[in-house]
A and B are shown apart, each in its own frame.
Chain A
Amino acid sequence: MEKYECTACGYIYDPETGDPAGGIAPGTAFADLPDDWVCPQCGVGKEYFQKLS
């Protein structure tokens, strides 16, 4: 599964680890994150994430 990077602060969302503190189970693809999920590091919305190439 693909990793996504926060363009605001550089946080990398890795589906393998998920975001347990934000209630996201390991194995959750970026596309399956809820719409109201925000960057755990700086708080911007999903719109600011870019697929890591």
Chain B
Amino acid sequence: MRVIVLGNGLCGTIFAKTLRDINSEIEIDIFGQEQYLYYPRPNLIEFLAGHMPYDRLFAFSEAWYSDHNIRLHLAKKVEKIDPAAKTVEFKNRGVKEYDKLLLAHGAYAGVPPIKNVSISGVFTLRTLEDALNIQVYLKDRKKVAVIGGGLLGLEIARALNAGGAEVAVIEFFPRLLPRQLDARAATLLKQQIENMGIQGLLGKTTEEILGEGEATGLRFKDGGEIAAEMIVVAAGVRPYLDLAQAAGLETDRGVIVNAHLQTSHPDIYAAGDVSEHKGRVYGIIPASFQQAKNAAYNISGQLQEYEGTVPSNTLKVMGVHVTSLGLVNPEEEGYEEIFKLDEAQGCFKKVVLQNGALVGAIWMGTKEGINEINRLVAQNAKIGDHKTDILEDGFDFSQLKK
């Protein structure tokens, strides 16, 4: 059997590795658009922060590929997939046949409609090439604006701040990490990033990049302006859909797959950031990882169903532990929110209850009790009598065990 993998990111690589572990005979060819060996994208943050040297970005050496009998083809752009002929066609001629094809070519950084955004000095961070370009451009510049106060935006801000840049984070929502935090927790996080020397500008819509030829700043919808010599846009990622759509595969926000990671064509599978399963485009490593493994088993003939991935609830953002569980920002009536804020310790805890049952929680600045609170939220436990003291340090969770 001949298997072709499009994409040499985490998903394509883990897929190939898993498939090879299951079966030593299948022919595996990986085609990557980038010119680099596989590197996990989180390493780019550490690289930009100056904490990780270039050589360490890469997970597996060229020798690893030959040892595993996996053929890796880099800097190869696929022009077309022909599901009827079961071939992929490459940009500079060349056609290759497959028996099974895995689409693992991922997603690209989205850029919102901002005037003048294609000017020099505006970057996204998705690929190693992006990171290298940022590094070069920043060499004799200092003032950076990061558009996007979500996870990636904050990580980029931390990295560039560690590298000596003066960084401002611009967020459209009135709080940082709008998906994970509520207003109070976000205020506390803002204080903490400001202590690190990173400015947080919230509730701001960037309307225009200022500068001619080269970026010199930003103008917001409210008329305000800030100076910036470099701008990094971190506004989420979008699956690459062109190839799949041109091949007639069913797509929505991603390439639609069933529980076996099969697309609407039975010999073509999709996994990782490009895929959409049960209406969800995950765009997170644990989901990519699980889908890569499931797809490998399915293609090898050992059927496995992908059951979805529960996104990890515990993050470490700018060195601060953030656990965000279930419903953290109820917008309708009928919920009770109880919190405890300790500004001096940088600690915030909150529970959200509905009819006495725990439906959400935020634990920030502490890891104490996170496993327990995680379990209680998952069970929608009734904690009526303990709804206040559960927030105390050293709370004895065994009282709540059934």
What residues of chain A have their CB less than 8 Å away from a CB belonging to chain B?
7-10, 36, 38-39, 41-45, 47-48, 50, 53
How long is the Cα–Cα vector from A33 to B257 in the complex, in angstroms?
Answer: 40
The 30 sampled A-B contact pairs (Cβ below 8 Å) are: A7-B312, A7-B316, A8-B40, A8-B42, A8-B285, A9-B285, A9-B289, A10-B286, A10-B289, A38-B56, A39-B40, A41-B14, A41-B289, A42-B10, A42-B40, A42-B59, A42-B289, A43-B10, A43-B39, A43-B40, A43-B43, A44-B40, A44-B59, A45-B43, A45-B46, A45-B56, A47-B52, A48-B42, A53-B367, A53-B371
Is B375 an interface residue, CB under 8 A from the partner?
no
Residues of B within 8 A of A50 (CB): 314, 316
Is B395 an interface residue, CB under 8 A from the partner?
no
Closest A residue to B321 using CB positions: A50
Residues of A within 8 A of B52 (CB): 45, 47
Given contacts A43-B58, A53-B371, 10 further A-B contacts (CB under 8 A): A7-B315, A10-B289, A38-B59, A42-B10, A42-B40, A44-B42, A45-B51, A45-B56, A48-B42, A50-B314
Closest A residue to B289 using CB positions: A9
Top 5 A-B pairs, shortest CB-CB distance: A43-B59, A44-B40, A43-B40, A8-B285, A9-B289
Closest B residue to A51 using CB positions: B367
How long is the Cα–Cα vector from A53 to B321 in the complex, in angstroms?
Answer: 13
How long is the Cα–Cα vector from A50 to B46 in the complex, in angstroms?
Answer: 16
A31 to nearest B CB, angstroms?
A: 17
Q: Let me know if B56 and A53 touch, CB within 8 A.
A: no
Residues of A within 8 A of B286 (CB): 8-10
B356 to nearest A CB, angstroms?
A: 27
Q: Let me know if B60 and A43 touch, CB within 8 A.
A: yes
How long is the Cα–Cα vector from A43 to B285 in the complex, in angstroms?
Answer: 12
